[in-house]
Amino acid sequence: MKGRGFAIFQLNVFYNVKTTPDVAPVTDEDAFRLDVNLTDSDSNHILLSICTRLKDTQAIAHTGMAILEVGILSGFGLLPGAEIQTDFIRKVDREPQRVSLYLDSVTKAEACVRLPFVRNYNVAHVQDAVLQVYDYYEPSEYCCS
């Protein structure tokens, strides 16, 4: 036999973390705990200490890659040449208004990072900056401050 025709083929690929039936669905409760401490050595230098971990109420023991986004206060910038090296940070993206830290994983054990900032300009009415941590593969699981 001979003939001609066509076929349609569709493939869907999802890059999210697999969930199992025993994992509770995400609720309005934050998935992460985020503790922030700001210290200033003088009026032009501040040190931001950020600690994060999964909350004990989470059914999972660790996430896949997570992102910690740190907003920068008006008039400040990350100290030039500042080394942000810890064993759990895979990549650092520096932008004018924020720093994004790509974390290998977040577990129920606390992980901390310290970021030094310097005042570049005196700004009246400094605006608040947002800090947030979220699971890269499950963005609905997040916490912000």
Hunting for tokens 């992460």 — which residue is that? 32
- Burial class of 132 by CB neighbour count within 10 A (0 to 12, 13 to 18, 19+): middle
Question: How many residues does the structure list for the chain?
Answer: 145
pLDDT at 18 over 60: no
Mean pLDDT, rounded, for 103-129 = 90
Could you tell me if residue 8 is inside a domain?
no
Give the model's pLDDT for residue 15: 58
- Give residue-wise pLDDT tens across range 96-109: 899 999 999 999 99
Nearest to residue 127, comparing CAs of 77, 79, 87, 73? 73
- Give residue-wise pLDDT tens across range 43-93: 889 999 999 999 988 888 999 899 999 999 889 999 888 887 778 899 999
Give the model's pLDDT for residue 14: 55
Q: Which domain holds residue 119?
A: 32-144
Could you tell me if residue 47 is inside a domain?
yes
Nearest to residue 59, comparing CAs of 88, 21, 28? 21
Residues 6+ apart with CB under 8 A from 55: 29, 30, 31, 32, 33, 108
Q: pTM of the prediction?
A: 0.74
- Give residue-wise pLDDT tens across range 83-98: 877 788 999 999 889 9
Task: Domain count for the chain, please give it.
Answer: 1
- Identify the CATH number of the domain in which residue 102 sits: 2.60.40.690
Could you tell me if residue 80 is inside a domain?
yes
Could you tell me if residue 129 is inside a domain?
yes
Could you tell me if residue 87 is inside a domain?
yes
Could you tell me if residue 121 is inside a domain?
yes
What is the 8-class DSSP label of residue 56? T
Nearest to residue 132, comparing CAs of 142, 123, 141, 140? 142
Could you tell me if residue 23 is inside a domain?
no
Could you tell me if residue 26 is inside a domain?
no
